[in-house]
Amino acid sequence: MLDHLIKDATVVDGTGNPAYVADVGLRDGRIAALGRIDAEARTSEDARGLVLTPGFVDPHTHYDAQLFWDPYATPSLHHGVTTVAAGNCGFTLAPLHPGRPEDADYTRRMMSKVEGMSLVALERGAPWNWHTFGDYLDALEGRTAVNVGFMVGHCALRRYVMGPDAVGGQPDAEQLAAMVRLLREAMDAGAWGLSTTQSRTHSDGDGRPVASRHAGPEELIALSRAVGEHEGTQIEAIVAGCLDQFSDAEIDLLTEMSAAAGRPLNWNVLTVDAAVPERVPRQLGASERARKAGGRIVALTMPILTPMNMSLGTFCALNLIPGWGEVLGLPVPERIARLRDPDVRAELLRRARSKEAGVFRRLADFGRYVIGDTYSEANRGLGGRVVRDIAEERGQDPFHCLVEICAGDRLRTVLWPMPTDNDPASWALRAETWRHEDVLLGGSDAGAHLDRMCGAPYTTRFLGDCLRGRKLVALEQAVKMLTDDPARLFGLRERGQIQRGWHADLVLLDPERIDAGQARLVHDLPGDSPRLDSRALGVRAVWVGGVEAIRDDVVSGAVPGRVLRSGRDTRTVSTR
């Protein structure tokens, strides 16, 4: 007897092969039958006209804390994501030193600053009752509706071994050996490998460079070698050049790390813009170099444009523009006074448009900002309007106009930059880039920057665009890019395809409706903290391990997900 029977579905199996109509039978968490099925089932449904795909795999999330209060990884599960990779960018909640309870507070403040997580939610929503990485994994076992795997954050390793000296200090030989042992213990417990960051944009709760930014090549290579000693592991790394273009030294470092481990190394995010045609060849040159050296470097790139809101009142990407952080970090009254100074504005604009601003140069066209939420009578009716239009009415330059609008709200105004790379040439370049063997779709950052962006719906929005929009990729290939491709990168065992005997992680969708709704602000985190959410459109059902987790965008209440552990649930993807 089958547990559930899906009849007459159009099966897109994740291999890239042509779709076909078949019945799919589920039993004991697996795909038990595939084809024309006459066996009895406890429940069944008619899927004529609907598409059945493997569950989507999101290769870059930050659900490390959210899963404790939200087992559904909202909104990823709603959008068909059944497996998430977390512990990215060098940041994890474990290990925590048992002799320094203050390390938990440091970690919470760091995650709040660097990944835009609500500090109140971090304090109230997670138990913080673990010390080892294995303790942390055990605390989540049986509590999630999605499958989840975790990298070990380099910052946590450094903090555990070096304490406060992790920021600014260098390990001696004994401390480096201790870090390597700690990483090995975490991988023995099931960690997927190492994540690290050298990015200039990553600072802790005190505004200082996070711990891993102080690591030298010797430390990074030693940890990378340890990754290669364990089954089913890999590396995720961020360097300053990820935002725009790698330096030669960064390419050398990433190549050496991957080659030392003999494992893939992935980074994010590859930004594709036809206005900067040299960026993609430069970034993918790192992949070519790594293959020659016995490694593999994989670039993550998003198949949609994900809006991110800005503010002159709270920390956001504008703070990361060279020279801007000093002004935007001032107390609000002093900040407003400085921003109203024409000489200060001129210098800020000069820095924002300079080469040193890198990818943040795209934020410098303030006439292309759309006004979001406003909070004063003076700004009534401005919501939804473009700054350039308002500036023309007022006889002001766009940046001056934007500053005055924000000043009227005591800098609380929500600002939405319009994308600069939404042109046909950029989309054609994306379609070409996606075909590269070392490019993978992903980089949603789901679980982070919660009130700034909502990247989780990239799966449904991409499929909707492929079916009814630009149609840059055939449905079969698009599904493969969201399922089997990331599953193969991580070496996931028996996931990523619809095959008899494989795990029954499945998505049933309506090809005429599949899409994502507009992002909206909701207050449902612990402490009523805000986050951006987006409804899934056209997702009929999602199964995780053969158990229905979503039906018509409503969670079932079941938590069938597993903590996926290296070796047991992942196989080695060797680069040698």
Domain boundaries of the chain, sorted by first residue:
2-54+498-555, 57-307+423-477, 317-417
Closest by CA to 352, choosing from 330, 370, 327, is 327
Q: What percent of the chain has pLDDT over 90?
A: 96
Omega within 30 of 0 (cis) for the link into 18: no
| Position 177 pLDDT exceeds 90 | yes
At 248, is the pLDDT very low, low, confident or very high (cuts 50, 70, 90)? Answer: very high
Residue 159 has φ and ψ, to the nearest 5°, of -60, -40
Superfamily of domain 57-307+423-477: Metal-dependent hydrolases (3.20.20.140)
| DSSP characters over 105-133 | HHHHHHHHHHS---HHHHHHHS-----SH
pLDDT of residue 359: 84
CA pseudo-torsion sign 77, 128, 149, 558: negative
Q: How many CA atoms lie within 13 A of 25 on its CB side?
A: 15
pLDDT of residue 435: 98
Mean pLDDT of the region 176-184: 98
pLDDT of residue 423: 96
Mean per-residue pLDDT of the chain = 97
Q: For residues 327 and 330, what is the distance between their CA atoms, to the nearest angstrom?
A: 6
Q: For residues 335 and 327, what is the distance between their CA atoms, to the nearest angstrom?
A: 6
pLDDT of residue 355: 87
Closest by CA to 502, choosing from 28, 74, 12, 1, is 28
Model pTM above 0.85: yes
Mean pLDDT of the region 407-421: 95
Q: How far is CA 459 from CA 5, 21, 525, in A?
A: 25, 22, 23
Mean pLDDT of the region 465-477: 98
Which of left, alpha, beta for 207 (phi over 0: left; psi -120 to 50: alpha)? left
Q: For residues 372 and 275, what is the distance between their CA atoms, to the nearest angstrom?
A: 27
Omega within 30 of 0 (cis) for the link into 280: no
Helix H, strand E, coil C: the string for 495-513 is CCCCCCCCECCEEEECCCC
> Which residues, other chains included, contact 388 with Cβ-Cβ below 8 Å and sequence gap of 6+?
367, 368, 398
pLDDT of residue 49: 98
| Position 521 pLDDT exceeds 90 | no
Residue with the bigger pLDDT between 451 and 153: it is 153
Beta partners for residue 150, in sequence order: 86
pLDDT of residue 356: 87
2-54+498-555, CATH topology level? Urease, subunit C; domain 1 (2.30.40)
Q: For residues 372 and 406, what is the distance between their CA atoms, to the nearest angstrom?
A: 11
Q: Which helix (H) or strand (E) holds 225?
A: helix 217-227
- List own/partner pairs for 339-343 with CB under 8 A and 24 or more apart: 339/312, 339/403, 339/406, 339/407, 340/403, 340/404, 340/407, 342/400
Q: Is residue 561 within 8 Å of 71, Cβ to Cβ?
A: yes
Q: Is residue 246 within 8 Å of 283, Cβ to Cβ?
A: yes
pLDDT of residue 265: 98
pLDDT digits (tens, 9 = 90+) for 49-95: 999 999 999 999 999 999 999 999 999 999 999 999 999 999 999 99
Q: How far is CA 171 from CA 91, 97, 235, 260, 261, in A?
A: 19, 17, 21, 20, 21
Q: Is residue 444 within 8 Å of 456, Cβ to Cβ?
A: yes
Residue with tokens 């290769």: 59
